[in-house]
Structure 1
Amino acid sequence: MASIHPPEPAGIDPIDALLSAHGLRRTAAARRVLGWLLAHPDTSYTHAQLQTALSGEGPSALDRVTLYRLIDRLTQVGLLLCRVDASRVRRYQAMPVSVHAIPHFECQSCHRDSPLAGALMANADDLERAAQSALAALRALGYQGLSMDFAVRGVCADCATAAPETLL
């Protein structure tokens, strides 16, 4: 599967290359936010969690509004994925290549996001046809700019094993 991230020229920082390729300025704040999310690709974070993780003092400090603007811009250009979880909280993560095409599982405990391609391989064609059918029906009704996200939410096996008493 092809990556949405273009290859970077030799000698250029990969984060700078991604920002430039998507028409964004290569500011220290943008590099810091994107770098953090790329370093933690399997976890989605709320704005507050990102703010805490990226907290600092001096010139590297990110205020709340700057962080909101950055994650909004990074999401608009397709470098971040924004999902609304079951509690209606927005969560952000680096855009996994697979999320566009296959279903995924989001753990409601650790918030890891896992592709379900292997688990649903036998039904992948059925899911794809159902998704395309739904999108075609909506386009016929005049809806535009459509995308589809198939998410299964629950508690992953690791979290369920770690704390079975909290699931009762």
Structure 2
Amino acid sequence: MVNPANPAQLEPIDALLSAHGLRRTATARLVLSWFLAHVDTSYTHAQLLAALQGAEPDDGLTLDRVTLYRLIDRLTQVSLLLCRVDANRVRRYQAMPESVKAMPHFECQTCHRDSPLTGELQGNALDLEAAAQNALQTLKALGYEGLSLDLAVRGVCADCAASAAAQAKADT
């Protein structure tokens, strides 16, 4: 028999929720498991709602936008999710691995696709992690709490740049 007071005996999602002081509701399980299954993808509130409504189990669970907003806010407060605000001031949410202090990503200003840069920056990952740790330690020493660091590179992705070049060539 599973003892709910012992997080080690709970399912991994339930254990994560319990360890962070959150209720283990069906909605919380659904949302957190979705993010953990899609760790390299960030979602706006609307994108997440649409994706989850298509993935809801057939057990009477209904997910409304207010419940989802409150839940992702709580998941962000306990650092299970990373919330970034893009160049258009749109909030995007992504799973935040506990070990990660810096989450480098590229945001295309044309198609608004958000792509992690961990693979591309692998050679510099230790330098980035050390810089992040130094910045976070300094801020913590100054009394700041609940810290994470977001490194956003903004520009036009290769696909959009190629499409624009092809369109320009076709127009001439």
TM-score (norm 2): 0.70
Give runs of aligned pairs for residues 1-168 of structure 1, distance below 5 A: 9=8, 12-55=10-53, 56=56, 59-97=60-98, 99-100=100-101, 102=102, 104-108=104-108, 109-115=112-118, 117-121=121-125, 124=127, 128=131, 132=134, 136=138, 144-145=144-145, 147-156=148-157, 160-161=158-159, 164-166=162-164
Structure 1 stretches (4+) deviating beyond 6 angstroms?
none
Moved more, 40-49 or 103-112: 103-112
For the aligned residues, what is the CA RMSD? 3.3
Larger Rg belongs to: 2
1:43–1:111 Cα contact (<8 Å) kept: yes
SS at match of 1:49: helix
Which residue type is aligned with residue 113 of structure 1? P
Contact map agreement 2:104 2:151 (CA 8 A) in 1: yes
Could you say what secondary structure the match of 2:153 adopts?
Answer: strand
Amino acid at match of 2:16: L
Deviation by residue 1:26-68 (Cα, 9 ceiling, x = unmatched)? 0000000111111100010000001100115872221010000
**Aligned partners of 2:78, 2:40: CA distance in 1, in Å?**
20
For this pair of structures, how many residues does the alignment match?
152
Amino acid at match of 2:47: Q
Change (3 A) 1:125 1:54: closer
Decide whether aligned partners of structure 1 residues 127 and 155 sit closer, same or farther in structure 2, where only a CA change above 3 A counts.
farther
Give unmatched runs, 5+ long, in structure 2. 1-6
Check conservation: 1:42, 1:114, Cα contact below 8 A: no
SS in structure 2 of the partner of residue 112 of structure 1: strand
| Alpha-carbon distance, 1:92 to partner | 0.2
Instruction: Tell me, in whole angstroms, the C-alpha distance in 1 between the residues paired with 2:91 and 2:40.
Output: 16
Contact 2:107–2:152, Cα closer than 8 Å, also in 1: no
TM-score by length of 1: 0.72
Work out whether residues 106 and 114 of structure 2, in 8 Å CA contact, stay in contact via their aligned partners in 1: yes
Percent identity reads: 54
Change (3 A) 1:33 1:166: farther
Structure 1 residues 166 and 29, CA, compared in 2 at 3 Å: closer, same or farther?
farther
Answer yes or no: is the 8 Å Cα contact 1:103–1:117 preserved in 2: no
Residues 126-154 of structure 1: per-residue CA shift (max 9 Å, x gap): 9718x736974x789x7733553322233
Q: Which amino acid aligns with 2:69?
A: Y
